[in-house]
Amino acid sequence: MNETLRILVADDDELDRQTVYLALTQAGVNIEMSEVSDAKTTISILRNTTFDCIFLNARLPDQDSISLIKKLRDAEIKVPIVVITEQGDAQIAVELMQSGATDYLDKSRLSSATLTQVLRHAIRIHQVEMQAASAHQKLKESHEQLLRKNQELEKQRQQIQLQNLKLLEVSQLKSQFLATMSHELRTPMNAIIGFAQILLRPKFGKLTYQQADMVERILNNGKHLLLLVNEVLDFAKLEEGRLALQPEFFDLANLTKKVVGEVRSLAETKKLSLIVKINIDNPVVFNDPIRVKQILLNLLSNAIKFTESGSIWVEVKNLQENRIAIAVRDTGIGISSQDFQHIFEAFRQLDQTITRKYPGTGLGLAIINSLVQMMGGKIFLESQIGVGSMFKIELPRQISLSTTNKTSEGVQFDGSGILSTVQKSRNQNSESRT
Ligand code: ADP
């Protein structure tokens, strides 16, 4: 204790005050001592001046020391208080400590050694108390902060929950609307297609070349429109979980050849070679033939649509564990690996500008994704910009009946850059069931 300590001695007995002064200075403690002789002055001096310690006589003339200490503590005057008691004041001493005194000292023990020891002890205790109080205050503040944060988070959580509910409601309304609209559009579309076909039959009268050309256009546009409507209807049903697979045994090799036959003229128009490789021991599978055809048609029509020159390969083969693979490969524009994930989201097209070169709804791959998941299969995509793409679907040879009514979400990627897992579909030429 080399620094000068500011000490206040509150005692009405001048001799006692001198004793304290002498005892401390004799012990080599540097002190700057102030003296007061009553409680009133003690309070007023303490309000304006800071001290390192107070030595307080337990019996000041104008106020008892217990209520004085309480008053000081209530006024947030934080200073070590050592009370100098008379002999036999042990009971009072306990009460003094309870009221906020730091220590007490019997008047008969006012020696240099005891006084210095008590002073040091009181200052140390006070420091520890101050540290504890400040730590406690900090803890209290952070606890309050946490509480406030928690309340804010809870409020935000409730808001998000509410927004989610609203979004869900809107999404359900949208799905219902899509389903109703596309369903309603199918009836007149079928009538337009049917009547156009009838008009083209020679037995209903010969049309001029120009008339026949126009009716053919009505027929082709009508068919195209119906495909789009079917795609929207399938998507809406899948979203609502209302699309069920209707599995049966069928010949996958035959179905593949039939689908390839249907798109061959499209490929020929673009001068693309269409190569089919069927390498399967037993072509009979148990699945929904209409949905498998839909998947294959979508993959093939996308391959043709996004390929300007070169070839398209369709390969069907056996895999281990009673699984089969259907792959469609092209030498088309390719897909960048960043877009692998996005193209399986509904309405996503890599070129979303109004003037885009390739038409479509952007629902094909989203539908394929859901269908393949329902079938318990997986889709893999390998693609490189400017080189081409390969969509490969792996399916169980026999789909499980329990999976036929449920859709699962998401596409798995193997994350290896050019080589990734994905899925795709489109509904051109589909024979959608209603
Ligand atoms: P749509 O063909 O109606 O646009 P899809 O869901 O079938 O919708 O495909 C989504 C997008 O994926 C396409 O717009 C296209 O950008 C990309 N894509 C699909 N297949 C291929 C492919 N074989 N080659 C290149 N890009 C493709």
Residue 4 CA, chain-centre distance (Å), reads 61
Element (H, E) at 198: helix 112-200
Q: Count CB neighbours of 386 within 10 A.
A: 8
Q: Which amino acid is at 382?
A: E
d(CA 33, CA 49): 12
Radius of gyration of the chain (CA): 46
d(CA 426, CA 284): 24
d(CA 242, CA 206): 45
pLDDT at 422: 34
| 331 pocket-lining for ligand 1 (C-beta < 6 Å) | no
CA torsion sign for 31, 34, 40, 45 is negative
The interaxial angle of helices 112-200 and 209-240, nearest 10 deg, is 150
Best residue among 231, 343, 358 to mutate for probing ligand 1, ranked by most atoms within 8 Å of CB: 343
The overall pTM is greater than 0.95 = no
Are 334 and 383 in contact by the 8 Å Cβ rule? The answer is: yes
Question: Which candidate, 183, 417, 426, places its Cα nearest to that of 294?
Answer: 426
d(CA 325, CA 397): 9
Ligand 1 atom having least distance to the Cα of 350: 16
Q: Could you tell me the distance, in angstroms and rounded to a whole number, from the CA of residue 370 to the centre of ligand 1? A: 16
Class of domain 248-403: alpha beta
Residue nearest ligand 1's atom 8 by CA: 362
Ligand 1 atom having least distance to the Cα of 363: 6
Structure tokens at 119: 């002073």
Q: Which residues are registered as beta bridge partners of 249?
A: 286
Residue by residue, pLDDT tens for the chain (434 residues) are 568 999 999 999 998 899 999 988 988 889 999 999 999 999 999 998 999 999 999 889 999 889 999 999 898 898 999 999 887 667 788 888 888 999 988 888 888 888 888 888 888 888 898 899 899 999 999 999 999 999 999 999 999 999 999 998 988 888 888 888 888 888 889 999 999 999 988 887 888 899 899 999 999 999 988 988 888 888 888 887 878 899 999 999 999 999 999 999 889 999 999 999 999 989 999 999 999 999 999 999 999 999 999 999 999 999 988 899 999 999 999 999 888 888 888 776 666 555 556 666 778 898 999 999 999 999 999 999 999 999 999 999 999 876 554 444 334 333 332 333 333 333 333 334 43
Ordered by start, the domain boundaries in the chain are 5-110, 165-240, 248-403
| 350 pocket-lining for ligand 1 (C-beta < 6 Å) | yes
Place of tokens 């004085």: 68
Best residue among 228, 238, 302 to mutate for probing ligand 1, ranked by most atoms within 8 Å of CB: 302
pLDDT at 434: 36
Structure tokens at 416: 């290896």
Domain 5-110, CATH: 3.40.50.2300
Element (H, E) at 186: helix 112-200
CA torsion sign for 167, 169, 175, 178 is negative
d(CA 428, CA 403): 25
Are 397 and 336 in contact by the 8 Å Cβ rule? The answer is: no
